[in-house]
Amino acid sequence: MDSPSRLQEDIQAVRERDPAARTALEVFLTSPGVCALGWHRVANWLWRWEWFLVARIVSSLSRWFTGIEIHPGATLGRRLVIDHGMGVVIGETAVVGDDCLIYHGVTLGGKIQASRDETTGKRHPTLGNGVLVGAGAAILGPVTIGDGATVAALSVVLTDIPAGALALGIPAKVKKPPKAK
C-alpha cells in the first residue's frame, strides 16, 4: 500500500490548484477528491491481488460517500486533483498521468461496443501528464490525450488529442494546436 507521503502529495496538490483550499486539515477532512483517491488506492490494491469482489465493494462504498466512481482497475498517477468531483466516472482500463486536474461531471469511459467480443482489452482513455479536463467533459474509448493538453468543459472527445493542445466541442476538435518546438 502507499505511504503517507502519497496522501501528503495529494493534499498539497489540492492546496496548490484550488484557491478555496485554506489548510491541509481542511483539505483532508472535506475534499471528496482526496477521499476518493484514498479509497481507490485500497480498492486498486485489492484488485491487483485479484480480490475482485471486495475491490468492487470498496469502490462502491467510495462512490456512495464521495459521488466519484473510480473502477478499482483504473491506473491513476500522482498528484491527481479531482476538484468538486461529483459525477466523475473513471473506467477500468483508464490511465491518468501525473499532475492532472479533473473537474466535476467528467467521464473517462468506454464507447458502445457492437458485440461482447469487443469489450476486452483497452477500452478507456489514457491521459498524459498535466492534462486538464473541464467540467462535464466526456472522453470516450481508448483514446490518448497528450501531456499538457486541455479538454474544455462539456466537450466530447472521441479521437486522440496531441500534447499541449486545446480540445473543444461535440465532437471535440483541436482548436489550439500545440506550440512548435
Beta bridge partners of 157: 139
pLDDT at 2 over 60: no
Could you give the residue numbers annotated as active site?
A: 104
Nearest to 133 by CA among 24, 33, 50: 33
Q: Which helix (H) or strand (E) holds 70?
A: strand 69-70
Which pLDDT value is given to residue 3? Answer: 53
pTM comes to: 0.92
Intra-chain end-to-end CA distance of the chain, in Å = 40
CB under 8 A, 24+ apart: contacts of 20-24: none
Architecture of the structural domain at 4-176: 3 Solenoid (2.160)
Which pLDDT value is given to residue 112? Answer: 79
pLDDT at 1 over 80: no
pLDDT tens, 100-141? 999 999 999 998 776 566 667 899 999 999 999 999 999 999
Alpha helices in 49-146 (DSSP H): 52-66
Residues 6+ positions from 131 with CB-CB distance below 8 Å: 96, 97, 100, 101, 145, 146, 147, 148, 149, 150, 151
pLDDT tens, 21-65? 999 999 999 999 999 999 999 999 999 999 999 999 999 999 999
How far, in Å, are 49, 115, 139 from residue 56 at the CA level?
Answer: 13, 24, 23
